[in-house]
Amino acid sequence: MNDTQLLNNGYPMPKVGFGVYKITDEDMPKVIQQAIETGYRAFDTAYFYGNEASLGQ
């Protein structure tokens, strides 16, 4: 099974992403590192979550 979807612009997008809702700024680095090591390459966030800045670090 293909784990990406080819977008109209030619770039592949992972079919499964990791949501970061309710992950605290303190926990974010450890959680994201574990998610990357597990194989996640797409991360779902929103301004409303209030943790975009810590995800970007």
DSSP-assigned letters across all residues of 19-44: E-TT--TTTHHHHHHHHHHHT---EE
Active site includes 49?
yes
Full 3-state SS string of 3-15: CEEECCCCCEEEC
Active-site hit among 11, 40, 47, 49: 49
- Which are the catalytic amino acids? 49
